[in-house]
Amino acid sequence: MTQRIAVVGTGYVGLVCGACFAKLGHSVVCVDRDADKVKALQSGVVAIFEPGLEKLVFDEMSAGRLSFTTDTAGAVRGADLVFVAVGTPPEPKTGNPDLTAVLAVTDAVVDAADGFTVLVTKSTVPVGTARRIESRIAGRRAGVDIAVASNPEFLREGAAVKDFLEAERIVVGTRDKRALEALKAVYAPLIERDSILVSTTPETSELVKHASNAFLSTKIAFINEMARLCEKVGADVEMVAHGMGLDARIGPEFLRPGPGYGGSCFPKDALALVNAARDAGSPLSIVETVLTSNQWHKHAMVTKIGDVVGGLDGKRIGVLGIAFKSGTDDVREAPALTIIAELVKGGAIVTAYDPEAMDNARPLLNGISYADDALDVADQADAVVILTEWPEFRALDFAAMRARMRRPALIDLRNVVKPETAHAAGLVLYPLGKPPRA
Helices (H), 90-201: 100-112, 129-140, 160-165, 177-186, 188-192
Catalytic residues: 265
Length of the chain: 438
Question: E strand or H helix at 39, and its extent?
Answer: helix 35-42
Pairing of strands 349-353, 316-320: parallel
Q: Where are the beta strands (DSSP E) in 281-365?
A: 316-320, 349-353
Q: Where are the beta strands (DSSP E) in 169-262?
A: 169-174, 196-200
Residue type for position 145: D
Question: E strand or H helix at 66, and its extent?
Answer: strand 66-69
Q: Which of 128, 138, 68 is nearest to 97 (CA)?
A: 128
C-beta of residue 360 within 8 angstroms of C-beta of residue 332: no
Q: Is 314 helix (H, G, I), strand (E, B) or coil?
A: coil
Greatest extent of the chain over all pairs of C-alpha atoms, in Å: 75
